[in-house]
Amino acid sequence: MSEDYKSMWESLELDLKAHDALLEVLGKGYQDIYLAQKNRPEGMGYFDFVMSEVHGLRIRELLDEKAAGQKVIGSFCVFVPEEIVRAADAILVGLCAGADFAGEEVEKLLPRNTCSLIKSAFGFKLGKVCPYIESADMIVGENTCDGKKKSYEILKDLVPNLYVMDLPQVKSAEGRALLKAEFVRFKEAVEKLTGIAIDAKRLKKGIEIVNNKRKAIYRLSSLRKADPPSISGLDALLANQVFFYDNPARFTESVNKICDELEKRIENSEGVFPKETPRLLLSGCPMAVPNWKLPWIIETSGAVIVGEESCVGERGTRNLTDDSGTTVDELMEAIIDRYFQVDCAIFTPNPDRLDHIVEMVEKYQANGVIHYGLQFCQPYLMESMPVEKALEAKNIPTLRIDTDYSMEDVGQLKTRVEAFIEMLK
């Protein structure tokens, strides 16, 4: 890494030694998991570059944008409305992390039985290795699961700029009213942070930017219906992960370019795996960078992942926001309508998610579903049981996997996944 980056990381008060160690592990993991794949689309070169510069060039860009007056807002959840952030010329970045870090320090603040996603976010902060959280002018914590909402009470003492957004847990009129009140309050907070009054023209522009990136990633998802598969699940997951970090216009263009390439591959029946490779849908908790363990196990065990029913996947990206309104009120209502459809397991009851899983199985012609639950994640682990029951009632084979970010269970998981794939053949 260049000296230039070193001084940039120093200016963000990162722990350089720990950060170097993290980048080394990340680079090695990327090499072994991503670059070892065969027949990848050429367009993935863009994502390889993004990943190699995820703590370098992208942070340099964010700091340049900050120097030019733009604000950076960090978030842990797909409920934070990016349209409102973009409307104020601000930048939204994902802060969820997908690797264990500073475990001992974390367990001084959080109970051991907290999910890896929350522990990891704390670990990256306490270990001083995340340039995104250190670049953020505002960090949004949302009241979704109990683990997150209680951990924000602790996080507020670790960061100077935590903003807590309340969220409904029931899809009722009262629930929608709460979401509306919270989105209006968030809009006001973003206006205060940026000094920009969000009018209808700005809101429309914000909606357009975010719709375009959702359309591009959705186009990529749709191309995964093909057999032979033209892109691996690992590569498609990576595009979904980069969705949360990249410059949106550049991301949209790069994803569309890959889609053009995939369309040609499909026309020529060119696949990344042979025809009739068993096809699996992944459903459950979100997978943040560099959490590639389970997809890697699946795709090195003889199957291909054809879709992610996840917030880093279709749950987070599938619905567009109606941009036909002409006033701030109309456009805000459209944004609220769009987000109120997100079927996170924190909602009770949550039948839409089950319908969506079945819809995805049919759309992508999946032979089975692997439900991925992080240990100690009550909402998704609880919901995995009715999901399994309902899928099996429709003769859709399902495997429930509960795991964490450690690599200790790789052998055991591989045995279970291989047996499941064998059964599908």
Choosing from 30, 98, 379, 387, the residue that interacts with ligand SF4 (CB under 6 A) is 379
What is the smallest separation between the CB atom of 292 and ligand SF4, expressed in angstroms? 16
Question: Residues 102, 294: contact at Cβ < 8 Å?
Answer: no
Choosing from 44, 54, 62, 77, the residue that interacts with ligand SF4 (CB under 6 A) is 77
298 sits near ligand SF4 (criterion: CB under 6 A): no
Backbone angles phi and psi of 309, in degrees to 5:
-90, 85
Query: Could you say which residues in the range 301-340 bind ligand SF4, by CB under 6 A?
Result: 311
Binding mask 120-159 for ligand SF4 (x = CB under 6 A): ------------------------xx-xx-----------
218: CB partners within 8 A, 6+ apart: 314, 317, 318
Which two tokens mark 241? 């992960």
| Nearest-angstrom CA–CA distance, 425 and 420 | 9
What is the smallest separation between the CB atom of 117 and ligand SF4, expressed in angstroms? 4
274: CB partners within 8 A, 6+ apart: 228
Residue 329's CB is within 10 A of a number of other CB atoms, namely 11
Query: Could you say which residues in the range 24-63 bind ligand SF4, by CB under 6 A?
Result: none
Query: Could you say which residues in the range 80-119 bind ligand SF4, by CB under 6 A?
Result: 115, 117-118
Preceding peptide of 290 cis, ω within 30°: yes
CB-nearer residue toward ligand SF4: 198 or 285 = 285
Q: Which stretch binds ligand SF4 (CB under 6 A): 74-82, 85-93, 170-178, 399-407?
A: 74-82
Choosing from 23, 95, 344, 396, the residue that interacts with ligand SF4 (CB under 6 A) is 344
Q: Which stretch binds ligand SF4 (CB under 6 A): 32-40, 260-268, 377-385, 403-411?
A: 377-385
Which two tokens mark 199? 């009018």
What is the smallest separation between the CB atom of 401 and ligand SF4, expressed in angstroms? 14
306: CB partners within 8 A, 6+ apart: 224, 225, 229, 233, 279, 280, 281, 364, 365, 366
Backbone angles phi and psi of 212, in degrees to 5:
-65, -40
374 sits near ligand SF4 (criterion: CB under 6 A): yes
Tell which residue, 287, 240, 244, 238, has the closest CA to residue 401: 287
| Nearest-angstrom CA–CA distance, 172 and 106 | 36
Choosing from 12, 59, 72, 78, the residue that interacts with ligand SF4 (CB under 6 A) is 78
What is the smallest separation between the CB atom of 238 and ligand SF4, expressed in angstroms? 18
What is the smallest separation between the CB atom of 119 and ligand SF4, expressed in angstroms? 9
Choosing from 234, 281, 346, 391, the residue that interacts with ligand SF4 (CB under 6 A) is 346
What is the smallest separation between the CB atom of 346 and ligand SF4, expressed in angstroms? 5
Residue 31's CB is within 10 A of a number of other CB atoms, namely 10
| Nearest-angstrom CA–CA distance, 173 and 218 | 29
Tell which residue, 74, 77, 72, 76, has the closest CA to residue 88: 72
Size of the site for ligand SF4 (CB under 6 A): 20
401 sits near ligand SF4 (criterion: CB under 6 A): no
Assign 262 to helix, strand or coil.
helix
Helices 44-52 & 16-30, crossing angle to 10 degrees? 160
Q: Give contact residues for ligand SF4 (rule: CB under 6 A).
A: 77-79, 115, 117-118, 144-145, 147-148, 285-286, 311, 342, 344, 346, 374, 377, 379-380
